[in-house]
């Protein structure tokens, strides 16, 4: 990829708009969910990661603390035309670093079936079946120890 990539929290209103739009368009729109459905009440108090290239947000992910020891990654999405270029990995690594800074000992996430292979490559293990989103998308609880 030739353009310069920045991996960081969104900084401007425009970037925040793009951030949520990408989350919605990848994770909610395909199932007919309205814009706005991609947000939750913890967005104001969690860590966010955006991959920005030439002013375009092309990868996103969020980290929340479930307890002092446990952090959780949610809302991972890479723009479809940018899959397979290592952007998802960059987002996960950024959020893992944040989790360590916040003192977490382990990271958990609920992976969509199609993404389990991605997280396995990044060192996560499946620990249980999780929930069924929109009655269709099976999720698997995955975990990685940070130390
Ligand atoms: C899952 C997703 C975030 C991966 O992002 P990405 O930028 O395409 O992934 P990367 O290029 O960083 O891939 C890192 C490694 O995982 C592999 N990989 C990527 N997606 C994979 C998948 N779905 N299954 C198996 N392996 C996968 C890559 O080949 C690469 O392997 P390598 O390092 O050996 O070359 C992206 O495909 C996406 O947004 N999918 C749709 C939304 C989604 O499912 N989000 C996750 C919800 S839990």
Residue 113 pLDDT > 90 = yes
> What are the pLDDT digits (tens) for 77-90?
999 999 999 999 99
DSSP 8-state class, residue 4 = P
Confidence of residue 131 (pLDDT cuts 50, 70, 90): confident
The CATH homologous superfamily for domain 5-107 is Gcn5-related N-acetyltransferase (GNAT) (3.40.630.30)
Q: Where are the beta strands (DSSP E) in 12-136?
A: 47-53, 56-65, 70-78, 106-112, 125-133
CA–centroid distance, residue 60 to ligand 1 (Å): 13
Ligand 1 pocket, residue 89 CB under 6 Å: yes
Q: Residue 38 and residue 26: Cα distance in Å, rounded?
A: 10
Kindly report the protein residue whose alpha carbon is nearest to atom 12 of ligand 1. 86
Count of CB atoms within 10 A of residue 113's CB? 10
> What are the extents of the domains in the chain?
5-107
5 CB within 6 A, ligand 1:
no
Q: How far is CA 23 from the centre of its chain?
A: 9
Decide: 86 in ligand 1 pocket, CB within 6 A. Answer: yes
pLDDT at 121: 98
Total residues found in the chain within this entry: 147
């Amino acid at each position: 990829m030739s353009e310069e990539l920045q991996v960081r929290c969104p900084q401007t209103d425009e970037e925040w708009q793009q951030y949520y739009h990408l989350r919605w368009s990848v994770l909610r729109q395909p199932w007919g969910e309205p814009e706005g459905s991609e947000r939750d009440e913890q967005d104001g108090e969690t860590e966010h990661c955006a991959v920005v290239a030439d002013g375009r947000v092309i990868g996103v992910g969020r980290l929340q603390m479930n307890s002092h020891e446990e952090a959780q990654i949610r809302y991972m999405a890479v723009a479809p035309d940018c899959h397979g270029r290592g952007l998802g990995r960059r987002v996960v690594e950024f959020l893992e670093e944040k989790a360590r800074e916040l003192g977490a000992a382990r990271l958990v996430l609920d992976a969509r079936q199609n993404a389990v292979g991605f997280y396995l490559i990044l060192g996560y293990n499946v620990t249980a079946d999780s929930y069924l989103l929109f009655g269709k998308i099976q999720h698997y609880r995955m975990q990685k120890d940070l130390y």
